[in-house]
Amino acid sequence: MLESGRQFCSHSKSFALGIQELSQNSSGDTLMGECLEKFSQSLSRMMEQQEELLETAQQSLKQQLQTLVKEDIKQFKETRKEFERGSESLGSALHHNAEVPRRRQHDAEDAMVALKAARTTFRNRALDYVLQINVIQSKKKFEILKFVLSFMEAQSVFLEKGFQSSKQLEEYRKGLDAQ
């Protein structure tokens, strides 16, 4: 989206430059040259404002993504590692419990206690892992909404500046209509 906007601005600037060149080539008709020059300047200003909007959108998106990667993904990876360790520990406790001969009462009880502890640890880590996933998903939704709000504010400023530029040209256009 941002790249398409940049291409649009680039093509519009080329169009404005074409109008400006046309105004310079109409040396015989000063009214035509002045009119084309003014319109090309106005179009150039609007494109500069459009580029500001795109730059603001890109900076906002970049900031949101960096925050997500630096903080949330790092914490998520740590939680996932803990979950995987708990899973391995539970697997090993299950394997040990299955291999212990039931005739050895003391060893069987120790294996059962170790299995219960591993299950408890695994459940806690699994809950932490699921919680971390939910936190990231809810943060992601919030960050997306924050970006959209920022973009809408920038769009509002852009449209307001465009309206002001149009107002400035209105008197000039009325003067042209009168001629």
Euclidean distance between CA atoms 48 and 6, whole angstroms = 11
Taking only the tens place, the pLDDT of each residue in 90-124 is: 999 999 888 888 788 888 888 899 999 999 999 99
- Name the average pLDDT for the chain: 85
Rounded to 5°, angle at Cα 14 from 13 and 18: 115
Taking only the tens place, the pLDDT of each residue in 15-70 is: 888 888 888 887 777 778 888 888 888 888 888 888 888 888 888 888 877 877 78
Can you give the C-alpha Rg of the chain in angstroms?
A: 33
**Is the sign of the CA dihedral 70, 75, 78, 84 positive or negative?**
negative
3-class secondary structure, 26: coil
Taking only the tens place, the pLDDT of each residue in 70-91 is: 878 888 889 999 999 999 999 9
Euclidean distance between CA atoms 64 and 58, whole angstroms = 10
Euclidean distance between CA atoms 169 and 179, whole angstroms = 16
- The domain spanning residue 38 has which CATH number? 1.20.1270.60
CB 38 within 8 A of CB 80: no
Token code pair at residue 70: 């630096």
User: Per-residue confidence at 127, pLDDT binned at 50, 70, 90?
Assistant: very high
Alpha helix (H) residue ranges in the chain: 2-25, 30-67, 74-99, 105-178
Buried b (16+ CB within 10 A) or exposed e, 130-146: eebeeebeeeeeebeee
The total number of structural domains in the chain stands at 1
Domain that holds residue 77: 1-178
